Amino acid sequence: AQTVTQSQPEMSVQEAETVTLSCTYDTSESDYYLFWYKQPPSRQMILVIRQEAYKQQNATENRFSVNFQKAAKSFSLKISDSQLGDAAMYFCAYRIRTSGTYKYIFGTGTRLKVLA
């Protein structure tokens, strides 16, 4: 089965602190790509960070970084120095190639609250 699991429906973090959102996935494919998206109250989906599964080095984008554990099929997102604007729904996703087509599978999301 192709699934993405985000086990934390909701998380809270104090402004300027660090928070980690968890994500695990299940795929039998060897070639895939992983993504984190942010959905603020406007409901616009915004790409936060992406990771190629064949790369061991964890991706980093400014205050956002990932901890990619391929063997464990884990892809957590760390947000450092949290800001009020980080409050949003966060979705983990992966892209796989299946039967010659590409699909993106999403998790159920984690709602992040940032406390002033």
Determine, following the binding rule CB under 8 A, whether residue 29 of this chain makes contact with another protein.
Answer: no
Determine, following the binding rule CB under 8 A, whether residue 83 of this chain makes contact with another protein.
Answer: no
Beta-carbon contacts of 37 under 8 Å, excluding residues fewer than 6 positions away, are 45, 46, 47, 48, 90, 91, 93, 106
Question: Scanning the structure block, which residue is given the tokens 């699934």?
Answer: 3
The angle subtended at Cα 43 by Cα 89 and Cα 62, nearest 5°, is 55
Among 26, 52, 61, 81, binds another protein (CB under 8 A): 52
Among 35, 66, 86, 112, binds another protein (CB under 8 A): 35
Question: For binding to another protein (CB under 8 A), which residues are involved?
Answer: 4, 6, 9, 31-33, 35, 37, 42-45, 47, 50, 52, 91, 93, 95, 97, 100-109
